[in-house]
Structure 1
Amino acid sequence: MTWTSRNGIEIRDLVPAELRAHWVEQGLCPDRPIYDLFTDRVRSHPRREAVIDGEVALAYQDLDQAVRRVAAALSAEGFGEGDIIGIRLPNGWRTVVAELAVAAIGAVVLAYPGGTGTKDTISLLGRSRAAAVIFSDPADAEVATGLPTLRAAHVFDDLDSGADWHPPELDPEAPVRILVTSGSQSEPKMIAYSHNAMAGGRANYVRALSGGDEPMRALALMELASSYGSLVTHVSIAALSATVVLQDRFDAGDALRAITRHRPTHLFGLPTMLRRLTEHPAEADEDLSSLRAVVSSAAPLSDVTARACTRRFAARVITVYGSSDGINCHTALTGTGEGTGTGSPDPEVAEIRIVDELGRDAGPGEAGEIWARGPMTPLSYVADAELDERYRTRGGWVRSGDRGVLDELGRLHVHGRMDNIVSRGGYQISPAEVEREIGAHPGVVDVACVPVPDDDLGERLCACISQAAGSEDLTLGEVTAFLEAERGLERRKLPEFLLRLPELPLAPTGEVCRRTVTALATERFAADQPAMSSTSGLP
């Protein structure tokens, strides 16, 4: 299947059609478009809360009314099937309305993070040949008006029509959402997902996290425009009938008060967010007893933070390994702990295999590249045939670019990016491996290992850490002694520099910003001899 936008962008489905049909026959994909599923939820429980955003609470019937008014306004201007429509809005109910409205008219959602810059707007809307875009800030609209394929740049609050509107009949295998991720590319990657992949495979993954038949009440702290945040609108609400509590920006105190007030059953966040929640002082009326699960994704969760979450929330902790490219594995069934890795793959979401350098399936305990394919597998990359060639196979498998192992019990262990290597005098060191071992230290909350340029050896490894509040500053010698004596790490892999930071700098998505960490380490140590440690504040 090849979908072509009205502006000439081709999105191919790189999964064989017979496999897609098989997943539908098995009931793993609903074979219905997102808005059809959502209207079923509206009819089934019109007064159930769908979105809670500060003082605004929209029941399913209220959300649908808002969606229909925006859909009618877009349709009246001629937008619909064959269009890609950008969305750059703050976290909140308006984003949910916009994402559902764009899906309802048959267009494709291209949501991307907000901010003050213009580079993403020009790059993403230009490369996708977007037909329209929805902003909250009129200044953003002015930036976008110069793009040649863009017919309209809307401010959300101006999109309101009471005109009669009827949803079109849509192909469930057509694209509905483009996920955006920076990855290691010079420009953000765009990955297209179909209605079936979102409401099927991705919904199967979120359903497995819920741990029961009752719909979730979820406090979602991540950005809705992120890959992690894409599980909110089209998945948790449209496909799974959930109630979702949102924050326009992350604040630990506000998030804890939201748990007390709104009684969510599930808390979704990034490891750095969860750590800050555990360290925030409890208020007198704090009540976290509604939580059944704390879900961490988008970055590895350290043992220290996992234990802190268990103590603070008295709920099970679930870690998720995944990517916008179509990889997913989690610990909902295996639990976290020594030896569980990232859990067991779920074939109702994505089958996972480990492939060696010769293209053969690796045996248990043998390392190789992680490949995935299943009901959540995306269609293809958008406007980037080179990425399709590099990361997709003829059989529809997604090549993750991550190195990993399936153990004898079928549990996945991720060893980091295959191309994220520090080359010290010709010896290849995996920063992810060293990070994993440092993260087991009881005094370390966050860690990122990065290269520091060296005239003699090319690169040396620097461990950048943040520590638990009130703990004594670790020295480089203490860290390396722990790695050698207690974790069994080979001496040639030990970091030669240690940079202590109050907290690791974050990218807009909430993940550790490795570019900034690397710049800090390089600025501090590039001219120094090895075996040094330093404490630094963020600039």
Structure 2
Amino acid sequence: MTTARTPHRSAAPPGPWTSNNGLTIRDLVPAADRRAWVAAGHCPDRDLYSLFAAHVRRHPRREAVIDRAGSLDYRTLDRWVRHIAGRLRDAGLDHRDIIAVRLPNGRAAVAAELAVAALGAVALPYPAGPGTRDTLSLLRRSRARGAVLADPADIGLAPHLPDLRAVCAFGPGRPGVHSLCAQSRPLRPRPVDPEAPARILVSSGTESEPKMAAYSHNAVAGGRANYLRALHPGPGPMRNLLLVPLGSSYGSCGSYVTVAALGGTLILQDSHDPATTWDTLTRHRPTHVFAVPTLLRRLAEHPARPGEDVTGLHALVSSCTGLPETTAAACRERFRRPVIAVYGSTDGVNCHTAATGLGPGTGTGRPDPAVTGIRVLDARGRELPPGRTGEICARGPMTPLGYVADPGLDRRLRTPAGWVRTGDRGHLDERGRLHLEGRLAQIIDRGGYSISPAQLDRELGTHPAVAEAVCVPVPDPELGQRVCACVRQVPGGPRLTLADITAYLEDRRGLERRKLPELLLHLTEMPLTPTGKICHRTLTTLATTHHKTRHQR
């Protein structure tokens, strides 16, 4: 947490922010709250490039980014950042432009994001990968004026985007594409309003098109940075190994937080291969590993080899989806380090177990006021007392300004006082710890009985023979839906039957019989999304097809 100080300027912008292409972003949090967070020291009241430049002056030789090409120190990275910013300027881009960044994990992606901040523009990073539908949707709705792209398929979409003024790429120039490697006069950055938008976080969520939430410089360098600070109470800078895409919501703790806000070292790799990750751990000695549970489980299960060394590693950090107890136990056994579970989302909620640990009854930890406050509300918007289940709502220094190009989402997911409605069910206990109970909308309806798949996933995750488990609905002509447990077992054990699983859930975990899975699908590997999370949509298709085929036989 930062120390309290008097802000040097008003923490509230004079009005809504409008891009050069006419896109308006409004701050839905009352200005008085923003000012109070600055006064309390929860937000630095400085823009991201200014914070980065201060680290360049203080420790120019510290490693800023490490990838498979080697390392870049802060001074070298800053020279490259200002050169890229100059190229963006030469391409006709300026402050108050929205610039998309779609690059694989590596130094170029970090430098491009920081260059957008140096220009005073707003970064719209999103994960690299196959497909062009999200590119068209995001750039069209955000009215992005520029884009830094790696995929030729994406670059070819420019004629379909009338607001797009400049497409940029690393490498040699080509018709219609500005090369970021060409000669340019480095940009001399100027300060930017800390309450102006800095980055747009993208999440597919359950919407038909990706959601876009706009975060200010203060929200990123304040609330989101405070979340990382709480993970590292020890001396010395953080050295964070990020095993998620920089363009994802979870990956937002990379360029703008680890490097610009905290002055740490960001370690990246463009592979999810466990052997590669263990080599990275031994060679570069990160203090923290950030990953989704599936990847952490693979690391824990990877056979040990001579020379492995996790010296300097403080903790493993898991987010994006629930952390099964068996996965946490396997990681503690393999790494001999704490495992921290994070409850967070693109929409602006965060709570983690860095202080409480993963012991019985700790839930997802206690909310940190330097990050975000949390309330639990009933269906009529009234705050519920401890122990009562309702919708989890959040507001604090990391709360985004609002959703981009979607006033309907603003009305549906933000209260008049600026609180974010997460769509998650949960409760706060008497000690102020948050307990997550699943999504409001993700309910399986079995013959009129509402079943929470999140609860089943959590309970199945305690079975010692289960490595990963996800319960999904399968259509049924009689009951509407039935529950299918999709299970990947711990290697080497006897194959579980449906009777084994239901007996465990009923006899050992105390679940009501009506909630028990009726179908079982064994998998040797879980399907993943581009961000490394388990793909529920693919699992639902697999389970439906599997059981339909078996029924036809």
TM-score (norm 1): 0.97
Q: Secondary structure at the match of 2:156?
A: helix
Q: For residue 86 of structure 1, what is the aligned residue in structure 2?
A: 100
* 1:487 has 2:486 as partner: no
8 A Cα contact 1:34 1:199, kept in partner: yes
Q: Secondary structure at the match of 1:215?
A: coil
Give the superposition deviation at 1:337: 2.0
One-letter amino acid of the structure 2 residue matched with residue 469 of structure 1: P
* 1:362 has 2:362 as partner: no
Q: For residue 129 of structure 2, what is the aligned residue in structure 1?
A: 115
Counterparts in 2 of 1:297 and 1:333: CA distance versus 1, 3 Å: same
One-letter amino acid of the structure 2 residue matched with residue 120 of structure 1: D
Q: For residue 389 of structure 1, what is the aligned residue in structure 2?
A: 411
* 1:323 has 2:345 as partner: yes
8 A Cα contact 1:121 1:144, kept in partner: no
Q: For residue 54 of structure 1, what is the aligned residue in structure 2?
A: 68
Structure 1: give runs of 5+ residues left out of the alignment. 533-539
Counterparts in 2 of 1:498 and 1:194: CA distance versus 1, 3 Å: same
> What does 1:28-67 correspond to in 2, within 5 Å?
28-67=42-81
* 1:153 has 2:174 as partner: no
Give the superposition deviation at 1:503: 1.9
Alignment partners' CA distance in 1, 2:293 and 2:337: 16
The one of 23, 26, 31 equivalent to 1:17 is 31
Offset from partner CA, 1:45-93 (integer Å, 9 cap, x none): 0000000001321000011011000001111233122210011101000
8 A Cα contact 1:192 1:381, kept in partner: yes
8 A Cα contact 1:320 1:342, kept in partner: yes
Q: Secondary structure at the match of 2:340?
A: strand
One-letter amino acid of the structure 2 residue matched with residue 182 of structure 1: S
The one of 124, 128, 139 equivalent to 2:142 is 128
Q: For residue 512 of structure 1, what is the aligned residue in structure 2?
A: 534
Alignment partners' CA distance in 2, 1:137 and 1:518: 30
Offset from partner CA, 1:103-150 (integer Å, 9 cap, x none): 111111011111121111111111111101001234421223331100
> What does 1:39-438 correspond to in 2, within 5 Å?
39-157=53-171, 158-160=179-181, 161-438=183-460
Counterparts in 2 of 1:395 and 1:482: CA distance versus 1, 3 Å: same
Q: Secondary structure at the match of 1:278?
A: helix
Give the superposition deviation at 1:223: 0.8
Counterparts in 2 of 1:12 and 1:170: CA distance versus 1, 3 Å: same
8 A Cα contact 1:452 1:526, kept in partner: no
Alignment partners' CA distance in 2, 1:485 and 1:67: 59
Counterparts in 2 of 1:164 and 1:255: CA distance versus 1, 3 Å: closer
Give the superposition deviation at 1:524: 1.2
8 A Cα contact 1:145 1:152, kept in partner: no
Give the superposition deviation at 1:319: 0.5
Q: Secondary structure at the match of 1:42?
A: helix
Offset from partner CA, 1:273-328 (integer Å, 9 cap, x none): 11111111122111123211111111111111101111111111101000000010
8 A Cα contact 2:93 2:166, kept in partner: no
Offset from partner CA, 1:390-418 (integer Å, 9 cap, x none): 10011010000000011111111101110
Give the superposition deviation at 1:162: 3.5
8 A Cα contact 2:484 2:517, kept in partner: yes
8 A Cα contact 1:451 1:461, kept in partner: yes
One-letter amino acid of the structure 2 residue matched with residue 346 of structure 1: D
Q: For residue 176 of structure 2, what is the aligned residue in structure 1?
A: none
What is the RMSD computed on CA atoms of the aligned residues? 1.4
Q: For residue 499 of structure 1, what is the aligned residue in structure 2?
A: 521
The count of residues paired between Structure 1 and Structure 2 equals 531
Q: Secondary structure at the match of 1:325?
A: coil
Counterparts in 2 of 1:83 and 1:481: CA distance versus 1, 3 Å: same
Alignment partners' CA distance in 2, 1:346 and 1:122: 37
Which stretch has the larger CA shift, 44-53 or 499-508? 499-508
Give the superposition deviation at 1:526: 3.8
Q: For residue 537 of structure 1, what is the aligned residue in structure 2?
A: none
Alignment partners' CA distance in 1, 2:464 and 2:385: 33
Which stretch has the larger CA shift, 98-107 or 148-157? 148-157
Give the superposition deviation at 1:528: 6.0
Alignment partners' CA distance in 2, 1:527 and 1:395: 51
One-letter amino acid of the structure 2 residue matched with residue 171 of structure 1: D
Give the superposition deviation at 1:268: 1.0
Q: Secondary structure at the match of 2:305?
A: coil
Give the superposition deviation at 1:527: 6.6
Q: For residue 535 of structure 1, what is the aligned residue in structure 2?
A: none
